[in-house]
């Protein structure tokens, strides 16, 4: 069931989203050559807890950390490790969230470590903009398929591909609520968007083909063709005046 949030609920959820956004910014600013993904994860966890919030990924279906940190050809769900150092030239996708006052925030971004290739820069820009295209399509009265199509069209017109095996989602008192928000689809299809709906839109974009595969660790998702991948996500609310981003620092 899709739960429309009241203004009182949205006020609390905005706090959870703000904490999530600040934690993401903190980690992004700490991305540099030599830092381990476990160090970045610890930064995020410490910050979220210092706000009186809970890292909502931790223990979610057994996930062992606060953040997912996925490098280069890793798409999503990379598990932080003290053996994994970030190198100059890497692109680093960080996905994390916080639960505060009973409500969830969820956001992601891909960061560059030092100088990166032109292809990597373009991939990051196109993925980020595809998120904003999706957000702009999240108008009251429109449908989920309108968001999906906006993301897909923007990405594919630029020669990249959207991951199909993972999707965005409703969010609220649960991190994952209905509806699913795919990054590919048909305009005019799917459920109608209504004021008070809160959703996480999260395009995962591959420089090569859209196929992905899960590693033997059971979590890390890689591109099948070894190409680079980027990921941007915001939690938003649909209002009478249009979409509003909630995960802003």
Site string for ligand MF3, 115-154 (x = CB under 6 A): ----------------------------------------
The phi, psi pair for 237, rounded to 5°, reads -120, 140
As measured in angstroms, the least distance from the Cβ of 188 to ligand MF3 is 25
Task: Give φ, ψ of 129 to 5 degrees.
Answer: -65, -30
Distance CA 164, CA 10 (A): 30
CB 233 within 8 A of CB 200: yes
**CB nearer Co ion, residue 156 or residue 180:** 180
- If one asks whether residue 77 binds ligand MF3 (CB under 6 A), the answer comes out as yes
At 172, is the secondary structure helix, strand, or coil?
Answer: coil
**Helix 37-50 vs helix 7-30: angle between axes, to the nearest 10 degrees?**
150
Q: Which of 177, 242, 203, 167 lies closest to 4 in space, CA to CA? A: 177
Q: Give yes or no for residue 51 binding ligand MF3 (CB under 6 A).
A: no
CB of 210 to ligand MF3, least distance (A): 18
Measured from the CB atom, the residue of 2 and 35 that comes closer to Co ion is: 2
Among 7, 61, 115, 157, binds ligand MF3 (CB under 6 A): 61
Q: Which residues bind ligand MF3 (CB under 6 A)?
A: 57, 60-61, 63, 68, 77, 95, 97, 106, 169, 200, 202, 233
């Amino acid at each position: 069931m899709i739960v429309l949030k009241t203004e009182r609920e949205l006020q609390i959820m905005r706090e959870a989203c703000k904490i999530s956004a600040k934690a993401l910014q903190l980690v992004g600013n700490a991305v540099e050559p030599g830092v381990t993904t476990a160090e970045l994860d610890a930064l995020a966890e410490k910050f979220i807890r210092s706000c009186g919030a809970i890292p909502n990924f931790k223990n979610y279906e057994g996930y062992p950390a606060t953040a997912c940190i996925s490098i280069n050809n890793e798409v999503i769900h990379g598990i932080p490790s003290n053996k994994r150092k970030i190198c100059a030239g890497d692109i680093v996708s960080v996905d994390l969230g916080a639960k505060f006052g009973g409500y969830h925030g969820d956001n992601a971004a891909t960061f560059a470590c030092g100088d990166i290739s032109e292809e990597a820069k373009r991939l990051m820009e196109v993925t980020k903009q595809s998120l904003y295209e999706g957000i702009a399509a999240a108008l009251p009265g429109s449908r989920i398929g309108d968001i999906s199509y906006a993301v897909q069209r923007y990405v594919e017109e630029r020669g990249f591909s959207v991951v199909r095996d993972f999707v965005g989602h409703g969010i609220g008192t649960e991190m994952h609520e209905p509806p699913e928000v795919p990054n590919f689809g048909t305009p005019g299809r799917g459920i109608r968007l209504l004021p008070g709906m809160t959703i996480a839109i999260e395009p995962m974009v591959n420089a090569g083909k859209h196929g992905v595969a899960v590693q033997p660790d059971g979590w890390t998702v890689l591109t099948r063709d070894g190409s680079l991948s980027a990921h941007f996500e915001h939690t938003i609310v649909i209002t009478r005046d249009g979409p509003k981003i909630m995960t802003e620092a």
